Amino acid sequence: MKKYKVLIDPKAKQDLSEIFIYVAANGDIVAANKLLDSIEKTFLKLEDIPERGHIPQELRQTGIKKYLEIHYKPYRIIYEIENNLIYIHCILDGRRNIQEILGERLLR
């Protein structure tokens, strides 16, 4: 079985930082740490089965099919597979305006 390597874009790292800050400020640090651990475990599973994601609805409408997404609770993890590498581009709260964010980050 082919093993893939997961790489995280600096903007996705910033997404994680913002998620942590928001949860810590509105709950507690322990909950924020557990959430980040769970999100990380979710995207690290892509090392074994990267094709398990689906094309984000917002991108499917534009005909762009090179990005996929998986979910953890309300968070959407947007990624791309290139050879044996998986690039995590975004980790977004699904309650936000995803169309606008993807347009800014991926369709530049």
pTM over 0.85: yes
Helices (H), ranges, 1-108: 10-26, 29-44, 57-60, 98-105
What's the pLDDT at 108?
Answer: 59
| pLDDT by 10-residue block (mean), the chain, 108 residues | 90 96 93 96 95 90 89 95 95 85 75
Boundaries of domain holding 76: 5-105
- The domain that contains 73 carries what CATH number? 3.30.2310.20
The confidence score (pLDDT) of residue 84 equals 93
Q: Give the pLDDT confidence score for residue 46 in this predicted structure.
A: 96
Q: What is the pLDDT of residue 1?
A: 64
Residues 16, 44 contacting (CB under 8 angstroms): no
Distance CA(63)–CA(73), nearest Å, equals: 26
Domain count along the chain: 1
The secondary structure element, H or E, covering residue 71 is strand 67-72
